[in-house]
Structure 1
């Protein structure tokens, strides 16, 4: 099979960024990891910034593909709210489990997450990306969905943003704890129980 050098550069760069931070990695480090001359890197990328931009671009594409695979709309809150309404708590738990496994067990997504954790305090651009994927970006989007559910009478009255934090908080905690927690298998059941408990507490009609 023909060697895909460009793909190797992206993956090895991501591994290095995840454990040493973006600023702690040089083009020489990347070349050594891939097993090519440093000059050969420039046949594929103009520099470290372009490598990083390509990593982010691929992450965006893969994440959207993942959402498509589990049949979730990513960029339309009306359609997303309609999907939530139609799904049972059990199927919503399946979706939560799938996204948890994606961010913790998919190699590319997991390394990307770790890279952002390492660099968020040193690079404002990376901090913004981390915020988009794991903090206010998620909470804002969930709050929009919950607001629609409340307006349509499927959720009890409440503050959509607070409810979004209540819903997403345990997910974020379990994703953050996954890398150091020994009993990772227990997260699967905890997540499913959380989704069902949240639904029973706030949904007007609950179907398991």
Structure 2
């Protein structure tokens, strides 16, 4: 890890505990083990560091999607129209564990959760990633699945809420209890199974 990467890592670690607003550049430099002027050789400002955190998080997302071979948003409904329960559980668990355990993704998420109450722009990022954006993504998939007769129901938005809300809740529940990860996986599997039993047409 070079100095530029270490600055980013230590900054994100501090942001995830104290929030973006409560951390100053001097603290970041101290955590890295360099003088503040040296930090400015790598980043122009604290905002610049945050911007690079966003870039790094986006890279992690892309890598995770590629590793899990997840379909693009527009093709997701076609990929999920005949997916088995076991495969859906695997995909859902993989995504869940990424946001819970990945060092960058977890810290980035925690930073946004803390800072959203102090910064409207960061709140917008948080809502786009973990609330409205996620619901919109699921709603698009469920709309296609309803139209194809795979899923019962006529309100894709409600189905998106019913599928995503338990996942979001479990993320909060186990955020500070990583030693209970097997419990989290079991609860997640039960949730996915129950959702399929309730909403997926029998012939699928």
Provide TM-score, normalisation by structure 1: 0.93
1:82 deviation in Å?
A: 0.7
Please say if residues 199 and 206 of structure 1, whose CA atoms lie closer than 8 Å, have aligned partners that are also in contact: no
Please say if residues 104 and 175 of structure 1, whose CA atoms lie closer than 8 Å, have aligned partners that are also in contact: yes
Match of 2:132 in 1: 136
Provide TM-score, normalisation by structure 2: 0.95
Match of 1:11 in 2: 9
Match of 1:120 in 2: 116
Secondary structure of the corresponding residue to residue 63 of structure 2: helix
Tell me the distance in 2 between the aligned counterparts of 1:64 and 1:149: 25
1:19 deviation in Å?
A: 0.7
Question: Matched residue pairs, number?
Answer: 203
Match of 1:21 in 2: 19
Q: Name the Cα RMSD after superposition.
A: 1.4
Please say if residues 89 and 206 of structure 1, whose CA atoms lie closer than 8 Å, have aligned partners that are also in contact: no
Tell me the distance in 2 between the aligned counterparts of 1:206 and 1:106: 37
1:206 deviation in Å?
A: 6.0
Match of 2:190 in 1: 193
Tell me the distance in 1 between the aligned counterparts of 2:89 and 2:170: 14
Displacement over 3 Å in runs of 4+: 180-184
The gaps in structure 1 that reach 5 residues or longer are none
Pairing 1:62-141 to 2, within 5 Å after superposition: 62-74=60-72, 76-77=73-74, 79-141=75-137
* 1:69-104 deviation per Cα after TM superposition (whole angstroms, max 9, x unaligned): 111124x32x11011113211101001111111111
The gaps in structure 2 that reach 5 residues or longer are none
